[in-house]
């Protein structure tokens, strides 16, 4: 084990790191973490890289989604199952409409750390450290809860392990059989106002499945699902403790998740996060906001994907509905002209957040949809592949984003506003989006 090795990224400035009050407690927690077994295998990361290679070439579509911030108290069978169910239902619709494989990646089993715009939060004249995710401190607004505690990094590992264990059981144990997933979609179409608009598409899928059944086709692929985990690689001490040398190849892998991404606030070219990402072999995502320059994008490719390996690098663009049609074309055009072929996916969430009159941080379903539309238009116009979507969602009936077929109004937001960070699409809004993106994909 290479616990004591000093890695190149550890001497560079790292943005958004917690201010741990007790260095000795941190060292102890990290030493424990470094001795724990991997959460994912290097070979699985390679498998995902190969799948994403197909996305880069235009032969597959990527669906990446899950909570903005997972929470330790969300690690329950019911919660994980409903999130997974929603993702699989979305994937089934997209697979049919796109007629290509859909690569399924959860923001799950490790999405416990959040970058924040301010280091502190003030309420009623009291200032405390900001909540940085369950991996660092507690959501509750008290001095005890907001104090960063490195023991939480171990809880993050355990929560990730428990989640991944259940995800693996669900996806390989027959629970996620495509015919079952389709039946859930039929329920959505039959029983909700949002779903009724998609009766035709659901009927087409039903016919396709019946036809295969009649022909005696019952492929093994119907019974099990390939599903991958991902999270933002934010707290570098945690990611470093889970970065190991792969015995097959001698290369470094971050075995905390299959894919990790670098966020909009930590993608500095001379910073520790990009250096870290450049040294591991996992598939890497990078968020690109509306201020991204062509030079930055090209340098990121140089740093993270010098071999131009399809599937190695995913650009997750999050421009905002009002900006995507202006800002994205030049980036895509110049990157393509450079000979690079990253995966391009659309995060229609983070450029469209605003504060409602009620004080809730929210997003409009129509803005989310419009950014995806703009993303498709830009790629179609340039002849590049709109490779997928990256969304914040939950399987629960929360009221955090406004709009959608079963319309959530601003005045409903308080009813079930449960997110620990950003507003998520609820179950119905997520399925609604999948059907609409499916229609978009078919042109």
148 neighbors 136 (Cβ within 8 angstroms): yes
If 0-12 CB within 10 Å is exposed, 13-18 middle and 19+ buried, where does residue 12 land? middle
Binding mask 368-407 for Mn ion (x = CB under 5 A): ----------------------------------------
CB of 71 to ligand PEP, least distance (A): 14
Binding mask 58-97 for ligand PEP (x = CB under 6 A): ----------x-----------------------------
Residue 424 touches which of Mn ion, ligand PEP, none (Cβ within 5-8 Å per kind): none
Interaction with ligand PEP in 205-264: which residues (CB under 6 A)? 232, 263-264
Residue 360 touches which of ligand PEP, Mn ion, none (Cβ within 5-8 Å per kind): none
Output 287 or 385, the one with its CB closest to Mn ion.
Answer: 287
Annotated binding site: 68, 107, 264-265, 287, 318, 350, 392, 422
What phi, psi does 25 have (nearest 5°)? -65, -35
CB of 289 to Mn ion, least distance (A): 12
Tokens standing for residue 192:
């909700």
Annotated binding site for phosphoenolpyruvate: 107, 264-265, 287, 318
Residue of 48, 62, 68, 98 that binds Mn ion (CB under 5 A): 68
Our finding on whether 408 is near ligand PEP (CB under 6 A) is no
Our finding on whether 38 is near ligand PEP (CB under 6 A) is no
Interaction with ligand PEP in 417-436: which residues (CB under 6 A)? 422
CA distance 270 to 430: 37
CA distance 166 to 79: 11
CB of 117 to Mn ion, least distance (A): 12
- The residue of the chain with the least Cβ separation from ligand PEP equals 263
Interaction with ligand PEP in 310-339: which residues (CB under 6 A)? 318
Residue 287 touches which of Mn ion, ligand PEP, none (Cβ within 5-8 Å per kind): ligand PEP
Residue 281 touches which of ligand PEP, Mn ion, none (Cβ within 5-8 Å per kind): none
CB of 107 to Mn ion, least distance (A): 9
Output 142 or 291, the one with its CB closest to ligand PEP.
Answer: 291
Residue 371 touches which of ligand PEP, Mn ion, none (Cβ within 5-8 Å per kind): none
Q: Which of the stretches 66-74, 123-131, 168-176, 209-217 binds Mn ion when contact is defined by CB under 5 A? A: 66-74
Our finding on whether 287 is near ligand PEP (CB under 6 A) is yes
CB of 267 to ligand PEP, least distance (A): 8
Residue of 311, 244, 247, 309 lying closest to 279 (CA atoms): 244
Our finding on whether 108 is near Mn ion (CB under 5 A) is no
Tell me the sheet residues that pair with 64: 105, 390
Interaction with Mn ion in 414-443: which residues (CB under 5 A)? 422
Our finding on whether 115 is near ligand PEP (CB under 6 A) is yes
Output 400 or 432, the one with its CB closest to Mn ion.
Answer: 400
Write out the residues near ligand PEP by the rule CB under 6 A.
68, 115, 232, 263-265, 287, 318, 350, 422
């Amino acid at each position: 084990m290479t616990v004591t090795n000093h890695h190149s990224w550890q001497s560079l400035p790292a943005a958004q790191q917690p201010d741990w009050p007790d260095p000795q407690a941190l060292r102890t927690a990290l030493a424990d973490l470094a001795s724990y077994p991997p959460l994912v295998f290097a070979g699985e990361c390679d498998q995902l890289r190969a799948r994403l290679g197909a996305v880069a070439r235009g032969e597959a579509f990527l669906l990446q989604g899950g909570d903005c911030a997972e929470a330790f108290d969300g690690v329950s069978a019911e919660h994980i199952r409903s999130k997974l169910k929603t993702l699989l239902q979305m994937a089934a619709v997209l697979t049919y409409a796109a007629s290509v494989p859909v690569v399924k990646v959860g923001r799950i089993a490790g999405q416990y750390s959040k970058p924040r715009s301010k280091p502190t939060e003030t309420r009623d004249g009291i200032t405390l450290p900001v909540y940085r995710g369950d991996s660092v401190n507690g959501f509750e607004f008290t001095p005890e809860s907001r104090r960063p505690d490195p023991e939480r990094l171990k809880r993050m590992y355990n929560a990730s392990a428990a989640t991944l264990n259940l995800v693996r059981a669900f996806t390989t144990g027959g629970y996620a059989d495509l015919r079952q997933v389709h039946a859930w979609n039929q329920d959505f179409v039959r029983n909700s106002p949002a779903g009724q608009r998609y009766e035709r598409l659901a009927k087409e899928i039903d016919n396709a499945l019946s036809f295969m059944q009649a022909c005696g086709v019952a492929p093994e692929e119907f019974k099990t699902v390939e599903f991958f985990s991902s999270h933002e690689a934010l707290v570098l001490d945690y990611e470093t403790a889970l970065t190991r040398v792969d015995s097959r190849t001698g290369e470094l892998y971050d075995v905390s998740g299959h894919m990790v991404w670098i966020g909009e606030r930590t993608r500095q070219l001379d910073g520790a996060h990009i250096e870290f990402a450049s040294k591991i072999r996992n598939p890497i995502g990078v968020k690109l906001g509306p201020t991204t320059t062509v030079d930055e994008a090209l340098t990121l490719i140089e740093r993270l994907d010098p071999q131009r390996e399809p599937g190695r690098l995913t650009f997750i663009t999050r421009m905002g509905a009002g900006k995507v049609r202006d800002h994205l074309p030049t980036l895509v055009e110049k990157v393509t002209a450079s000979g690079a072929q990253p995966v391009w996916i659309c995060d229609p969430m983070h450029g469209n957040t605003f504060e409602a009159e009620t004080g809730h941080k929210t997003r409009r379903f129509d803005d989310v949809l419009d950014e995806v539309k703009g993303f498709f238009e830009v790629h179609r116009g340039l002849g590049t592949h709109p490779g997928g979507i990256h969304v914040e969602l939950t399987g629960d009936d929360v009221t955090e984003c406004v709009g959608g077929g079963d319309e959530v109004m601003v005045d409903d937001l308080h009813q079930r506003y449960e997110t620990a960070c950003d507003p998520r699409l609820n179950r119905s809004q997520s399925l609604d989006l999948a059907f609409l993106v499916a229609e978009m994909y078919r042109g």
